[in-house]
Every structure is written in C-alpha cells, then in structure tokens.
Structure 1
Amino acid sequence: MSAGLVILAVIAIAIVGFFVGRSRALNSAGGDIRQLHSLPGYYGQAVFLFSAVPALLVTAVWLILQPMMIENRISDMILPTDIAEGSSLELIMADVRRISSGLDTAVVAGALSEPEIETLNLDNTDVRGVLAGVGVAVASDIKPNVLDASVAYRAKTAAARGYMAVVSIAIALVGFAVALSLTKPDYRARNVSEAAIKSLLVLSSFVAILTTIGIIASLIFETSNFFRMYPAKDFFFNLTWNPQFTGGSDLGIIPLLWGTLYVSFVALVFAVPIGLFVAIYLSEYASSKVRSIVKPAVEVLAGIPTIVYGLFALITVGPLLRDYFAQPLGLGQSSSSVLTAGLVMGIMLIPFVSSLSDDVINAVPQSMRDGSYGLGATQSETVKQVILPAALPGIVGAIILAASRAIGETMIVVMGAGAAAKLSLNPLEAMTTITVKIVSQLTGDTEFASPETLVAFALGLSLFVITLGLNVLALYIVRKYREQYE
C-alpha cells in the first residue's frame, strides 16, 4: 500500500470521526448544546485531531527512516569488487534504487511478473533492456550482486510499506476510539482544538527557520569537502577561473566576484535614479487617477519572468549596444556584455526601488509638508529639503535590498553578459557572475565528488554571505535612522 493511499485512509477515518464526534456530543447532551462545554464542532475537531495527527506523524517518521534502514541492510550485499573505479557505494545504491523502481514499473506495464522477479538473473533476462523499455537508465553495467540487491530492496520496501499501512491505520482507529470515549458534555474540546491550532501556527513559523538552517548546513558541509580538496587561499585570492575536469584547475573567485559586482553596479546606476524619480512623482505630483494606472503598470515589471528579460537582452538590447556603441567605438564585437545585462537587470529592479521608496515617502507625515509650505517653500524645495531627508533611511534600505536581488540574478546574466570569467573595466565586454558559474558547474555528467563540482557550494556560500551582509546592513540603516512620527 503506497504512502498516498495510507494518508488518504487516515484522513478518511479522521473525517468520519469529525461527524461521529459531533453527533455523539449532541446526543450526550440530549440535543441541547447549552449543556456542552464547547460547541459541537469542537468535539468533532477533537476526534479528527486524535485520529489524524498521531497517525500522520508516525507515517512521516516512517517514510523518513524507512529508506535509510533498508539501505543500511542492502548495502551489505554490495561487495568491493562491484564498485568500479571512479564510482562509489552511493552511486551503486542510486542504481539499486533506480533498478528497484524500474522493476515496479515493469510489473505494472506487464513486462515482468512477480514470479519472474523472484527468479530474476542476468543469464536468462536482458535486465537492461527491460529497464530501458520502461524508461529507466542506470549509470553502469548491472552486476549480479547489484541486481540481487535491487530485488531485495524492492521486496523489503514493499514489506515495510505494508507494515506502515497497518500501523498507521491502527493508530488512527485507536485515536478515533479514545477521542470518542472522551466525548462527554463536560469535556473541554475547545481547549484541545485551540491548542492544536496554536501548535500548527508555531510549527509553521519554524518552517522558514528550519529551511534556512538546512540550506546553510548543506552549504557549509559541501564547502568543507571542497576546501579539503582545493586550498582556500587559492580560491579566495586566485585571479584565474579555469576549471579543468581533467586536472590542473584554477578556481579563483575574484573574476566571478568582480563580474557580479560590476553587473550589479550597472544595474543599480540605471534603476536607482529612475525608480526614485518614479516614487517621487507618484507620491508627490501624480493625481489619484494617474497613480492608480502608473503604479500597477510599473509593478508589472516585477512579475515578468527573468527568462523573458534574458531574451530581451539577447535579442534586442545586446545587438543594439553592439551595433551602435561597441563596434563603432572599437570596444567589442559581442552582443553579450556587462552593459547589456546591467541595463536589462536595471529595468527589472525599477519596481523594487520605486515601490519601497514610494511607501517610505508616503509614510512622511503630511504635517511636515504643510509646515514647509507655510514657511514659503515650493513643492520641489519641500521634496528636496524635507521629504527626501526624512525618508532617506528607508530609501537606502530599498536600494540595498535591490542590490541583493541584483547579485542573485542568473538568467539575465547568462543570456545578456555571457560566460567569460575575467577582470576588465570595459562594460562592453562579456563577463560572468557567481550565480552563472554555480549553474554551469552543476550542469552536465560530471563526478559530484570532484572539486570542479563541489566548488559550486563554495560559490553559493560566498554569495549567501554577501547577500546576507547586504540585508543586515539594510535593516541596520532602516532601524538606526528611521524617524518615528506621531
């Protein structure tokens, strides 16, 4: 029985429990809800929770632990001679899982029967052909022990799923019975329901924290593996980026960091003035009718997929800059350049700057404007000397947050700036960024344990530290210099 069916069965039992619990509560009070401590719905919710929550928790824990426990037993069937040079036990176990899944698919498709799987061997069956017929590919030649391990893995997994179904449904039924036995007029069902809702809210609030911890832990773990293979000094101070998967790689982050900062700088130079002018116009000069049209139109830019911006850079902006600036001035021949990616990324960042700045400017009290006008200042003088200084901390925070967004962009840089890792001041030359190289190093059929692949995690951790620092700086500026108004 699959995990999905087990979950559906548990939920079905819980739903039945809701209606039975509600009806039992009403019957115990003789149909008079005034005799009940809680509303009838709370009694039904209590039965639902007792039936569903313990069973679903057991199912979740079972699904997490089951693969690890089975793989620990099955891995003993793999002999050192079954692991080819350049491979590893992890890769062999990945093949075992794929073959096991392929056998299940073959049974469903009718290519194999259960008795045939029990006597399956490489002598009388073209296993690779059967698996290819159901769309399953393996990374190496199938060896007898690997095939036997796959069959055993499939059998143990099926048995474990059966045990999981029995245990989970039994727990749901026990919870159902216990909750019904507690359903009496003086039972505080509302307290149980509200405590469960509070626990759910607390658990939800920890999801983001636990996700962040998981991301950081995975980055740190793989980065430490990389620095055991490649010197950290060379990574942070080498001026060359030249990954060679055959050996002799130079993996210096400085050219990538330069390209990242250069493209982001160009984008901010373009986006910040325009975004700030848009914010000032919308908050101080535009009528309500114009604002209701222009503001949503500008914010539409934030909803355009970055791949569309990348196509715009590749097809329109890049050739335009090449034909009218780079080639006539003798500064380059390629349509991919820092300026191409920077300008298109700047267009994408305009709504980030304008929307946040607009909110900050609107937060400045009208009394400050009225006081400035009362002293004889014009509207433009009021904007320059009163409103912008008061809103400056928030505007700076918006700019830094936009910079964090620019540093993490990938698709626009891939299609607009190219993939050349080099140090140059010419904005019409092709360069690349950290995010582009993270993608390229993890793309393709490469050995995961090689430094050329693990370097992607070191790049990711470096980028994470940079963007985290910018976000912390933005929050510090906003909190330190924020004005508090009545």
Structure 2
Amino acid sequence: MQTNQLLLLFSGVLLLLGLIAFFMGRAKAARVRATGTAMYAQPDQYAWFMVLATAGPAVAVGAVGAFAMLLLGAEIPTLYLLAGSLVVAAAGLMVGMAQVRADFHARQAIERVIRFLLAGAALISIFTTFGILFSIVSEAVRFFQMHSFWDFITGTTWNPGASFLAAAGRAEDAGSTAQFGSVPLFAGTFMITLVAMLVAIPIGLMSAIYMSEFAPAKVRTLAKPVLEVLAGIPTVVYGFFAAITVAPIIVAIAGAVGLEASFNNALAPGIVMGIMIIPFISSLSDDVINAVPDSMRQGALALGMTKGETIKHVVVPAALPGIISASLLAVSRALGETMIVVMAAGMRPNLTANPLEDMTTVTVRIVAALTGDQEFESAETLSAFALGLVLFAVTLTLNLVSVIMIRRFREKYRSNNL
C-alpha cells in the first residue's frame, strides 16, 4: 500500500477514534452528572478532553517518527509508525475514559493543552530564527577562514574574479585577483533604500492621516482597498515598470537639466520600490492613528486647537510608536528587495554617491553567488552567507534602534500627559 493511501487510512481511523471518544466521554459524564454528583466541568468539556487524549498522543508519536525519518535518517516503516500511532490513540482513549469522573478538572486540562500549543507556536518563530542564524553563521565562518573579515567589511572593491578555481584545486590559476569588499554592495543597498523611504514615508503617512482624519466614509471605503492593491502586485511587474517607464523618464529629465544618467540607475528602482511599500506604511499607520482614543481629539478641540494642530500635536505623537514600527517594516522590505534592483539598477558593484549611476545591492549579489555553475565550496558562493550575516546584523540593529526609539517616545509622551 502506498504512503498516501496509508496516511488517508490513518486519518480516517484517527477521526473515527476521535468521534468515538467524544461521544463516549460525553455519555459517561452525563451519566455521572445524572446521579446528582457535582462535577468540575460540563459533559462537552469532558468529551473534548477525550478527543485530545485520543488524538493528541497519536499525532505526537507520528510527528516524532516523521522527524526521526526525515532529519535524523532513521529507517522506520511507515506502516509500523502509523499502526503504532493508532495503538497509542487507543491507549489514550482508555486513559481518557478513566479520567472522566467528578473530581477531574477537564476544563483546566483542556486549557493547559491550549496554553502548551500556543507556547509551542510562539517558540517556532524563535527556533526558526536561531536555525536561520546558525545556518548562516556556520557557512560564513568558512568564508572568513578564506578571506579577512576586516577586508570584507571595509573593502571598497567587489571582484570575485576566478575564486571558484581555488575550490576546484587550481588555486595557482586563480591568482590573487579575488576581492570581497562589501562596502559597494551595502552602499547601493542603503542608497536605494533611502530613496524608497523618501518616497514611501511621506506619501504613506499623509495618505494614512487623510484617510483616518479627513476622508468621508465612502472615500475611505474605496481608497484604502485600492491603495492596498499595490502590495499585491508582483515585484517583477514593478521591475518592468522601473526599467521600461521610470528609468527612461529619469534619463530624459537628467538630460534636460544637463546631467548624465544611466538607464540602469539607482533612482528608478528606489522610486518604484517606494511606491511598492507605500501600502505597508499607509495601512499600518492608518490602523494606529484610528486606535488613538477619540477623547484625546475631542479634548484638544475643546481647548481651542484647530483640526491641523490636533493632528500635529496630539494624534501623531500618540501614534508615533506605531508609525515608527510601520516605517521599520517598510525599511526591512526595501532592504530585502531583489527583482526590482536586478531589472532597473543592474548588477555592477559601484561605490558612488550619485543615484543616477548604476549600482547593485546585497540581496542581488547573494542571488548571483548562489546561482550558476560555480562550486559550493568556492569563496564566491560562501560570500553569500557572509553578506547574509552582515545584512542580518544590520536589520537586527535597526530593530533594536526602533525599540529604543519607541520606548523613548512613549515615555516622553506619557510624561507630557502627566
């Protein structure tokens, strides 16, 4: 019997056992309650406890077995694993049935299971973060054993050259041309991100203020969904728009004022990226501004403030922590964008402060390093993990700075209200 058929049969039998456990548990609890005995829970709660006692251990055994087979390489026949899980389910049904009695707190037992599941869901993100960090660090260390960390951080030239020959045992043919200075990559990343933020933050924040404070209900109902459509457009479409429409316009405008601009320039992807992340700032800021209590607005108006003064001195300061969080989310989105940069800014590492020239970003180089036919053991491939590690550190620093700023703004706002 195939694995899919075994899983389908297992699911059907487990569902049947769960139904049996539910009705048996409720029937027994109802019989005990009919005798006039005071019980700590309702019959349905005992029934759901029976379902958890039956299905929970079976699913746990199956998950542990699948984990052992997939990640640890254990050889466990699928039929035996599923059969063992069903045996555990039957045992859980009998144990749960024995627990259906007057002095058993079924509701508390269910709540403990729910708390355990919620804690497990919270830990998944934490363990995933540590797993990502471990996988990046382990490969980045191998790269830094080949090339100096200081040269990687402070170097101004990114030229992998023929570094892949060293991984093939032909280091003498590669020469000493490989240079892995990451400054041009991060300069391009921050340049394009800065342009995107200069576009997204003012427009997103002003649109959020308009929709939450000034727009009629009909306009808000129509405008907000239309604005959020921007977040659902694929980035490759934005890349086409930046390369075919925005970049030629920038070149034409620059030529009209006597400046020279490349068709692969940093300004075009920055502007288009800013347009793309407007919904992130606008939607989140709109929700935060709407969460400001109406009593604060009414109190400011009662003291003689105008509508504009109320927004400037009361509403925006109260919503500022959320606005900062929305802006940080937009920055993280811009730092990780790849497709728009590839299509509109090019792939040349170029250390320049002129946004009209072509440049590239860290994520583009990561993609370039991990694709192609070069050896995985080569320095060029492993450099992707070093870039990822530094980018991870940059985003972590941004998060820490934002947390500090949010706390300071909250303390300042609270102290002004006291």
TM-score (norm 2): 0.82
Written as runs of structure 1 = structure 2, the 5 A alignment for 1:379-458 is: 379-380=307-308, 383-384=311-312, 388=316, 394-458=322-386
Does 1:218 find its partner at 2:131? no
CA distance 1:449–1:333, change in 2 (3 Å): same
Contact 1:22–1:43 (CA under 8 A) maintained in structure 2: yes
CA distance 1:52–1:385, change in 2 (3 Å): closer
CA distance 1:53–1:283, change in 2 (3 Å): closer
Identity level (%): 42
Compute the displacement of 1:4 (Å). 3.2
Cα separation, 1, equivalents of 2:84 and 2:60? 12
Aligned to 1:169: 86
CA distance 1:432–1:160, change in 2 (3 Å): same
Cα separation, 1, equivalents of 2:299 and 2:310? 9
Contact 2:21–2:93 (CA under 8 A) maintained in structure 1: no
Deviation string for 1:34-83 (max 9, x for gaps)?
Answer: 76543232333233222222222222222222356657xxxxxxxxxxxx
Cα separation, 2, equivalents of 1:392 and 1:208? 27
Cα separation, 1, equivalents of 2:123 and 2:179? 40
Extract unaligned runs of 5+ from structure 1.
72-156
Aligned to 1:78: none
Contact 1:10–1:168 (CA under 8 A) maintained in structure 2: no
Aligned to 1:306: 235
CA distance 1:39–1:314, change in 2 (3 Å): same
Does 1:466 find its partner at 2:383? no
Cα separation, 2, equivalents of 1:301 and 1:20? 50
Aligned to 2:170: none
Compute the displacement of 1:433 (Å). 0.6
Compute the displacement of 1:261 (Å). 0.4
Does 1:249 find its partner at 2:171? no
Aligned to 1:315: 244
RMSD: 3.1
CA distance 1:261–1:160, change in 2 (3 Å): same
Does 1:264 find its partner at 2:197? no
Does 1:11 find its partner at 2:2? no
Contact 2:365–2:384 (CA under 8 A) maintained in structure 1: yes
Contact 1:38–1:190 (CA under 8 A) maintained in structure 2: yes
SS in structure 2 at match of 1:29 = helix
Deviation string for 1:272-329 (max 9, x for gaps)?
Answer: 2222332333344333433333333323323333232222212322233234435984
Cα separation, 1, equivalents of 2:67 and 2:365? 33
CA distance 1:193–1:272, change in 2 (3 Å): closer
Written as runs of structure 1 = structure 2, the 5 A alignment for 1:226-375 is: 226-244=143-161, 245-246=164-165, 247=174, 248-325=177-254, 329=258, 331-334=260-263, 336-362=264-290, 363=292, 365-367=296-298, 369-371=300-302, 374=304
Instruction: Give the length in aligned residue pairs.
Output: 396
Extract unaligned runs of 5+ from structure 2.
166-173
Cα separation, 1, equivalents of 2:309 and 2:230? 31
Deviation string for 1:391-427 (max 9, x for gaps)?
Answer: 5555445434422322122222222222111112222
Aligned to 1:90: none
Cα separation, 2, equivalents of 1:343 and 1:350? 11
Cα separation, 2, equivalents of 1:178 and 1:300? 53
Which protein has the larger Cα radius of gyration, Structure 1 or Structure 2? 1
CA distance 1:354–1:11, change in 2 (3 Å): same
Aligned to 2:112: 195
Aligned to 1:145: none
Cα separation, 1, equivalents of 2:307 and 2:41? 61
